[in-house]
């Protein structure tokens, strides 16, 4: 770790921990998804809540949006761009493909953040009133928030 990139590397590590594991709070996103079947992922045990599958797709959307913002693009996903639709036939293959795609996107984000010059962290996010430091910490918080929802949905699915 070089002194110039130490803060970026630390943020990248928090993003990785929230997603992959070794998080202080408990199970990270991928740990929660290990035993989730396509049927459970697509289920709506709480009718007014998003499904696990929808939440995983949503997390990928925001990892991609963050990468686009880091590249200088203004972006604000809304509607089905924000919460993509689950396939009509929720197969195990489609579910595993969703997880793999989300993982690849997240790995790209972690790698990009770790390589950021520290000076970029204080640059303003295109079209926003906050900087990348704020955004990147927010992305980690966002993933943990949805991981908590996924944990609850898993428990609700087991009861249902």
The pLDDT tens digits of the residues spanning 67-110 come to: 999 999 999 999 999 999 999 999 999 999 999 999 999 999 99
Give the CATH number for residue 26.
1.20.120.450
155 Cβ contact partners less than 8 Å away, ≥ 6 residues apart: none
Quote the pLDDT of residue 157.
84
Quote the pLDDT of residue 26.
85
Quote the pLDDT of residue 160.
61
Model's pTM, two decimal places? 0.94
Q: Do 144 and 25 touch, CB atoms closer than 8 A?
A: yes
Positions of the chain with pLDDT lower than 50, given as ranges: 1-5
In terms of residue numbers, what domain contains 116? 3-159
Integer Cα distance of 149 and 9 in angstroms: 27
Q: How many domains does the chain have?
A: 1
Q: Considering only CA atoms, which of 147, 76, 149, 139 is closest in space to residue 106?
A: 139
């Amino acid at each position: 770790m070089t002194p110039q990139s130490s803060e970026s590397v630390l943020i990248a590590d928090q993003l990785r921990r929230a997603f992959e594991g070794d998080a202080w709070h408990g199970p990270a996103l991928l740990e929660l998804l290990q035993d989730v079947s396509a049927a459970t992922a697509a289920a709506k045990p709480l009718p007014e809540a998003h499904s696990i599958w929808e939440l995983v797709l949503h997390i990928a959307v925001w990892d991609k949006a963050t990468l686009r913002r880091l590249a200088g693009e203004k972006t604000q996903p809304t509607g089905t761009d924000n919460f993509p639709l689950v396939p009509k036939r929720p197969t195990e293959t489609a579910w595993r493909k969703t997880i793999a795609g989300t993982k690849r996107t997240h790995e790209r984000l972690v790698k990009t953040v770790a390589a950021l010059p520290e000076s970029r962290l204080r640059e303003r996010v295109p079209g926003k009133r906050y900087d990348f430091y704020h955004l990147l910490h927010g992305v980690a918080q966002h993933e943990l928030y949805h991981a908590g929802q996924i944990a609850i949905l898993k428990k609700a699915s087991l009861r249902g």
